[in-house]
Amino acid sequence: MSVRKIIRMGHPTLRRVARELLPEEIGSDEMHRLVADMIDTLHDAGGIGLAAPQVNESIRLAVIEIPGGQTRYGEIPAMPLTVFINPEIEITNPEGAGYWEGCLSVPGLRGFVTRPQHIRVRALNLHAEKMELDLQGFLATVFQHEFDHLDGRLYIDHIENPTNLVFEEEYERYILPEESAAEDAQRRNS
Ligand code: NI
């Protein structure tokens, strides 16, 4: 197992539509090696999701692992480390909400993106077995962000107002305190 290089915005692979994996490829040693490397890479980078195109493999595969608990996004349900192959997203309710997203391929930046908050995900696992998940809120945003990578999209493509793209340090210094204060006020008023 090894940590792979994460390619950054500007690398053409991040803008390609990745190909589906064939059933006979899914259980292969090569695929198991790639997934092991992606897990190492995700842990090394301290992220919550990594799509294969981010390590320059243009195939429809992503790993997601969300520790859960109390975060700056509120209380988040945990998602144990899971491999998603050839995933599809169905929006079950178009109502959207926004989060400040970041991406290992766009280091140092954050952007505010509004996405549907109720989705159904269908995918295969590493044993080529079908999975189906209903996701809401922050998790729905994470999955849409990760699977966008398989279609050559980055979160910055969804930013409606360019002033909502900022550096991480400035986000923590100027935006996060304002958001926390607004949430506190809301809690006091409710
Ligand atoms: Ni990303």
- Is residue 138 a part of any domain in this protein? yes
Spacing, Cα 146 to ligand 1 middle (Å): 6
Closest CA to 122 of 132, 134, 114: 132
Tell me the pTM.
0.93
Q: Is 6 inside any structural domain? A: no
Judge whether 67 lies within some domain. yes
CATH of the domain at 145: 3.90.45.10
Q: How far is the CA of 51 from the centre of ligand 1 (A)?
A: 7
Mean pLDDT of 75-86: 91
Write out the E strands in the chain: 49-51, 61-66, 69-71, 74-76, 79-101, 109-124, 130-136, 165-167
* Spatial CA neighbour of 52 closest among 65, 37, 67, 70: 37
Helices (H), 12-85: 23-26, 29-45
- Catalytic residue, candidates 20, 30, 88, 146: 146
Q: Does residue 146 have an active-site annotation?
A: yes
Residue 147 CA to ligand 1 centre (angstroms):
9
Position 72 in a domain: yes
- What integer pLDDT is reported at residue 119 of this predicted model? 98
CA of 103 to the centre of ligand 1 (A): 4
Domain extent at residue 76: 12-189
**pLDDT confidence bin for 69, thresholds 50/70/90:** confident
Give a yes or no: residue 180 inside a domain: yes
- The Cα 33–Cα 41 span in angstroms is 12
pLDDT value of position 180: 81
Distance 124 CA to ligand 1 centre (A): 20
- Residue 5 covered by a domain: no
Residue 145 lies in a domain: yes
Count of the separate structural domains present in the chain: 1
Is 79 inside a domain boundary?
A: yes
Give 120-153 pLDDT, tens digit per residue: 999 999 999 999 999 999 999 999 999 999 999 9
pLDDT digits (tens, 9 = 90+) for 37-46: 999 999 999 9
HEC readout, 134-151: EEEHHHHHHHHHHHHHHH
